[in-house]
């Protein structure tokens, strides 16, 4: 064993002994990862400095398109999250605006605003309304001089849920002691935007927001989040449910986040490398993960998640003040359940189950079942016509000798279903398909201290509905999730190490929706580059520098958004924002007709 590696292992052991309290990443008893979330050490004397003003942290994303009406705004919850770890979620009563029945709202927005001062880990948190998760997010790590950040999320999709009194629950497990001093002061506000006067009722009862949303989450009295915890590759968590007998469409919205030993699953080492080198403290099971969703033991869909890096991950200096893609509003994944409705329209109890291929402890997963009800009949009927789930096709190759080498992991799979539902809308046949491709090329060098990997996930999703008029309504989405991470690590002795990490995150999405009234397309291209170095002593980052550059392009039928921003050492260097559409060759869209189903809800991400 090389002396550098040996000392690295000794250091890892030392870190294990001094493991910090549970963060979005770290666990008291678990082995550690070199990228794990870290808080930053800043002298607390800074907080009394004369120019101590809070830093505003933010995630780059397009603004939510809003009607020009004046919103009705309501503070739903105000709470200071101090020692909340292992305690029940914080609850608040939600009641709809007084005129909810008579007034129509075209947009409903959740606003999370929080401040924090001191030193603290990045904490994962969830917000549930009536057990339905409406936001999964991660806190920003504070500074001695204080920080503030705001997350806005379009929650119009949960319209039917927002019509009645509900309990809002927030779980944010925080620990406060003499080292980790940050208390999160949080406000959750809902903004209801009435429809504009020119609004024309175009609701034909098909395809708009769901009539009923069932939580597929834990409902016990918990000292934890309402999410299920998947602890290993064989762990399966499930929930029983029943649906009304007049459902004509169903979509399962899945929330996913990964922590502790799997926080950086995409950088995990192949097991044979770990055992060949007798490594301890390195995370295994290779870099591929898949969330599998089953309905009554049949695989109905999968999620190959985006590689969200939380605000303390890899090098926390990278995410100050521009946070990682998806970290303040984690992506969710929709699975079309309509082809399978025939299996569950019998008024009986059925079961959704979640598992994660190759999982290490721990994945937080739950889901919401969006249901559309046939108001003109008491019973609908359905039948699954065709179903095909290919097994994972796996290609693995490695050529390591000793600590150095290369690993290639390529995986693909597809899931197809076709079924019909007979309702007062007629007989509608729905086809749904998911196609996934994954590739991860990992190189280890410098006697195991250097890691360089490139991972890409391609996803094609398609939903086609053959309407009784024999026209076809379809939604096609193409997604590409990329991460490239280069990291090198030098042990400086005395429980101190130097780390260099360059990271690229990319999230591209194309959406195309077609119906009788036309075609609507939109495109997002989101690219983030970061370069960081840091000196870590014990559990704290004592010095270092992080620089981040981000380019965000959105173009839709009705609007565009562009932002180009960069930062270094907490300071914004360059920030350019624009909402004019400058159509280039790739961005040119032939048909600008608004999609019928989206008039009411505006720029919703679509049926998928
Ligand atoms: C929360 O709202 C209260 C009341 O409006 C306000 O005083 C406080 O500053 C807000 N806190 C945050 C973090 O926005
Ligand atoms: C909903 O909550 C409000 C405010 O707490 C209360 O006045 C009202 O009676 C409740 N409505 C129902 C149907 O329970
Ligand atoms: C996986 O996790 C489950 C749930 O904690 C546990 O019951 C089971 O023993 C674990 N399996 C393995 C192989 O560790
Ligand atoms: C593997 O490492 C452990 C501790 O690091 C040590 O006790 C053990 O002897 C090693 N095994 C081999 C085969 O080198
Ligand atoms: C593994 O293969 C790559 C080329 O694919 C080569 O560059 C590298 O040197 C090889 N590593 C070892 C340890 O053989
Ligand atoms: C749905 O799938 C079936 C079976 O593969 C196929 O025959 C049909 O053409 C598909 N419908 C649409 C609208 O693509
Ligand atoms: C997605 O569809 C495109 C064609 O539109 C094809 O080139 C690509 O290979 C597909 N990707 C997957 C993952 O199936
Ligand atoms: C693995 O996937 C990548 C990206 O799709 C591709 O370039 C490469 O040729 C694949 N390798 C093998 C051996 O299939
Ligand atoms: C390690 O710590 C000891 C005691 O604090 C100190 O004497 C020594 O100089 C340190 N070594 C390095 C390389 O910093
Ligand atoms: C990482 O980023 C730094 C700063 O831009 C650069 O000097 C270095 O070459 C990069 N390293 C790699 C391996 O890309
Ligand atoms: C974004 O800003 C950087 C730095 O000013 C610049 O080099 C780059 O060309 C800009 N990108 C676009 C698409 O404008
Ligand atoms: C970062 O900025 C601080 C002042 O805000 C300065 O003291 C420090 O030297 C800078 N660090 C680097 C690496 O430039």
- The residue whose CB lies within 8 Å of the most ligand 8 atoms, and thus the one to mutate among 287, 410, 437, is 410
- Given a cut of 80, whether residue 598 has pLDDT beyond it is no
Determine contact, residues 146/185, Cβ cutoff 8 Å: no
Q: Which residue has the tokens 């597929």?
A: 216
Nearest ligand (C-alpha, residue 549): 11
| Reported pTM | 0.91
What pLDDT, on the 0 to 100 scale, is given for residue 33? 46
Strands (E), 118-226: 124-129, 132-138, 147-154, 166-172, 184-194, 212-216
Lowest mean pLDDT among 76-85, 192-201, 332-341, 594-603: 594-603
Q: Give, in order, the Cα–Cα distances in Å from 607 to each of 298, 333, 394.
A: 22, 11, 30
- Tell me what pLDDT residue 198 has: 63
Residue 128 lies in a domain: yes
CA 422 vs. chain centroid, Å, equals 34
Which residue from 330, 311, 327 is spatially nearest to 116, judged by alpha carbons?
311
Helical ranges in 81-220 per DSSP H? 159-162
More reliable by pLDDT, 467 or 220: 467
Which 8-state DSSP code applies to residue 16?
Answer: H
Among the bound ligands, the one closest to the CA of 460: 7
In angstroms, the CA 351 to CA 243 distance is 11
Q: Which residues of 1-37 are buried (b: 16+ CB within 10 A; e: fewer)?
A: eeebbeebbebbeebeeebbbbbbbbbeebbbbbbbb
pLDDT mean over 589-597: 30
Residue 604 included in any domain: no
Whether ligand 9 lies within 6 angstroms of the CB of 494 is answered as: yes
Average pLDDT score over residue span 375-392: 97
Which residues does 446 contact at the CB level (< 8 Å), separation at least 6?
Answer: 404, 488
Please report whether residue 542 resides in a domain: yes
pLDDT surpassing 60 at residue 504 = yes
531 lines ligand 10 (CB under 6 A): yes
> What percentage of the chain carries pLDDT values higher than 90?
75
Higher pLDDT, 98 or 253: 253
Ligand 1 interacting residues, C-beta cut-off 6 A: 75, 78, 113-115, 185, 187
Residues 548-559 have a mean pLDDT of: 95
54 or 43: whose pLDDT is higher? 54
Q: Could you tell me if the CB of 376 is within 6 A of ligand 11?
A: no
Tokens encoding 231: 């602890």
- What integer best gives the mean pLDDT of the chain? 87
pLDDT at residue 204 tops 60: no
| pLDDT of 599 strictly over 50 | no
Ligand 8 atom nearest residue 456's Cα: 4
- Of 156-160, 414-418, 427-431, 488-492, the one with minimum mean pLDDT is 488-492
Task: Report which of 450, 457, 417 is spatially closest to residue 436, judged by C-alpha positions.
Answer: 457
What pLDDT, on the 0 to 100 scale, is given for residue 602?
A: 26
Q: Which of 524, 592, 528, 594 is nearest to 562 (CA)?
A: 524
Residue 3: is its pLDDT beyond 80? Answer: no
pLDDT tens digits for range 279-308 = 887 899 999 999 999 999 999 999 999 999
Q: Which ligand 7 atom is the nearest neighbour of the CA of 414?
A: 14
Bridge-based pairing of strands 105-116 and 147-154 is antiparallel
How far apart CA 482 and CA 458 sit, in angstroms, is 9
Report the pLDDT value the prediction gives residue 197, as an integer from 0 to 100.
73
pLDDT of residue 358: 98
Round to whole Å and give the CA distance between 135 and 23. 18
Distance CA 261, CA 268 (A): 9
Phi, psi of 396 (to 5 degrees): -125, 140
The pLDDT value given to residue 52 = 72
Instruction: Output the pLDDT for position 38.
Output: 66
Ligand 10 centroid – CA 487 distance (Å): 10
Look up residue 353 and give its two tokens.
């189950």
- CA of 269 from ligand 10 middle (Å) equals 23
pLDDT band (50, 70, 90) for residue 362: very high
| Ligand 12 site, residue 571, Cβ cutoff 6 A | no
For residue 582 and ligand 11, the question of a CB distance below 6 A is answered with no
The verdict on residue 607 lying in a domain is: no
Instruction: Identify whether 317 is part of a domain.
Output: yes
510 Cα to the center of ligand 7, angstroms: 12
At 558, the pLDDT band (50, 70, 90 cuts) reads confident
Residue 602 covered by a domain:
no
Per residue in 313-355, pLDDT (tens digit) is: 999 999 999 999 999 999 999 999 999 999 999 999 999 999 9
Radius of gyration of the chain (CA): 24
Span from the CA of 568 to the centroid of ligand 11 (angstroms): 15
- Asked if 151 contacts 329 with a C-beta cutoff of 8 angstroms, the reply is yes
**pLDDT at position 278, please?**
87
Instruction: Count structural domains, the chain.
Output: 1
Range of the domain at 491: 3-596
Give residue 581's pLDDT: 84
Rounded mean pLDDT of 360-379?
A: 97
Q: What is the pLDDT of residues 395-454, one digit of tens each?
A: 999 999 999 999 999 999 999 999 999 999 999 999 999 999 999 999 998 878 899 999
pLDDT classification of 23: cutoffs 50, 70, 90:
very low
Q: Which residue has the higher pLDDT, 17 or 511?
A: 511
Q: Three-class SS string for 525-568?
A: EEEEEEEEEEEEECCEEEEEEEEEEEEEEEECCCCEEEEEEEEE
Rounded Cα distance between 112 and 188, Å, is: 5
Which atom of ligand 6 is nearest to 466's Cα?
A: 13
Per-residue pLDDT averaged across 112-123, rounded? 94
Is the confidence at residue 592, as pLDDT, over 70? no
Residue 309 lies in a domain: yes
Which residue puts its alpha carbon closest to atom 4 of ligand 5? 406
Q: Does the structure show a pLDDT above 70 at 590?
A: no
Q: Express each pLDDT in 56-87 by its tens digit.
A: 999 999 999 999 999 999 999 999 999 999 99
Identify which has the larger pLDDT, 470 or 309. 309
Q: Which ligand is nearest to the CA of 54?
A: 1
User: Higher confidence at residue 42 or residue 238?
Assistant: 238
User: Which bound ligand lies closest to the C-alpha atom of 10?
Assistant: 4
- pLDDT for the residue 282: 85
| Ligand 4: nearest atom to the Cα of 9 | 5
Which uninterrupted H or E stretch holds 318? none
Give pLDDT, residue 494.
85
Q: Whose CA is nearest to atom 9 of ligand 11?
A: 564
Confirm whether 605 is domain-assigned: no
Q: Answer whether residue 28 shows pLDDT above 50.
A: no
Looking at per-residue pLDDT, the higher value among 360 and 39 belongs to 360
The residue that leads in pLDDT, 371 or 597, is 371
């Amino acid at each position: 064993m090389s002396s550098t590696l040996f000392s690295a292992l000794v250091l890892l052991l030392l870190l294990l002994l001094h493991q910090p309290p549970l963060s979005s990443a770290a666990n008291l008893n678990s082995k550690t990862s070199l990228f794990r979330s870290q808080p930053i050490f800043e002298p607390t004397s800074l907080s009394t400095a004369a120019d101590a003003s809070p830093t505003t942290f933010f995630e780059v994303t397009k603004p939510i398109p809003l009607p020009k009406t004046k919103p009705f705004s309501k503070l739903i919850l105000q709470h200071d999250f101090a020692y909340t770890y292992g305690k029940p979620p914080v609850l608040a009563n939600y009641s709809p605006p007084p005129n909810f029945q008579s007034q129509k709202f075209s947009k409903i927005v959740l606003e999370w605003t929080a401040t924090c001062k001191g030193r603290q880990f990045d904490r994962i948190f969830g917000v549930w309304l009536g057990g339905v998760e409406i936001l999964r997010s991660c806190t920003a790590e504070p500074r001695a001089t204080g920080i503030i950040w705001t997350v806005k999320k379009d929650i119009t999709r949960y319209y039917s849920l927002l019509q009645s009194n509900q309990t809002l629950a927030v779980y944010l497990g925080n620990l406060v002691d003499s080292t980790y001093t940050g208390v999160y002061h949080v406000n959750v506000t809902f903004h209801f935007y009435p429809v504009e006067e020119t609004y024309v009722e175009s609701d034909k009862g098909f395809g708009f927001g769901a009539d009923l949303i069932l939580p597929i989450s834990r409902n016990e009295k918990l000292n934890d989040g309402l999410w299920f915890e998947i602890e290993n590759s064989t762990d399966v968590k499930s929930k029983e449910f029943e649906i009304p007998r007049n459902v004509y469409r169903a979509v399962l919205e899945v929330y996913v986040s990964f922590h502790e030993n799997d926080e950086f699953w995409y950088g995990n080492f192949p097991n044979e490398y770990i055992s060949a080198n007798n490594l301890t403290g390195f995370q295994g099971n290779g870099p591929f993960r898949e969330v599998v969703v089953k309905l009554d033991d049949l695989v109905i869909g999968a999620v190959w998640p985006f590689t969200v890096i939380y605000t303390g991950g890899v090098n926390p200096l990278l995410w100050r003040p521009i946070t990682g893609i998806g970290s303040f509003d984690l992506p969710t994944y929709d699975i079309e359940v309509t082809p399978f409705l025939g299996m569950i329209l019998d008024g009986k109890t059925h079961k959704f189950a979640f598992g994660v291929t190759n999982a290490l402890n721990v994945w937080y997963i739950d889901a919401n079942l969006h249901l559309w009800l046939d108001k003109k009949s008491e019973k609908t009927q359905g039948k699954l016509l065709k179903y095909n789930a290919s097994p994972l096709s796996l290609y693995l190759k490695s050529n390591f000798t000793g600590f150095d080498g290369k690993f290639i992991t390529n995986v693909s799979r597809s899931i197809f279903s076709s079924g019909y539902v007979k309702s007062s809308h007629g007989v509608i046949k729905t086809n749904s398909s998911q196609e996934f491709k994954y590739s991860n090329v990992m190189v280890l060098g410098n006697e195991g201290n250097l890691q360089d990997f490139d991972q890409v996930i391609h996803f094609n999703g398609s939903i086609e509905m053959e309407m009784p008029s024999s026209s076809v309504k379809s939604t096609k989405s193409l997604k590409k999730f990329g991460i490239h991470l280069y990291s090198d690590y030098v042990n400086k002795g005395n429980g101190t190490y130097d780390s260099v990490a360059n990271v690229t995150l990319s999230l591209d999405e194309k959406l195309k929706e077609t119906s009788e009234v036309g075609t609507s397309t939109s495109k997002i291209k989101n690219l983030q580059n970061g370069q960081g170095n840091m000196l870590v002593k014990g559990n704290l980052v004592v010095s270092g520098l992080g620089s981040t550059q981000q380019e965000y392009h959105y173009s839709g039928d009705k609007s565009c958004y562009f932002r180009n921003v960069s930062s270094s050492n907490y300071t914004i260097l360059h920030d350019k924002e624009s909402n004019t559409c400058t159509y280039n060759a790739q961005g040119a869209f032939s048909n600008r007709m608004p999609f019928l189903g989206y008039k009411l809800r505006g720029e919703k991400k679509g049926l998928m």
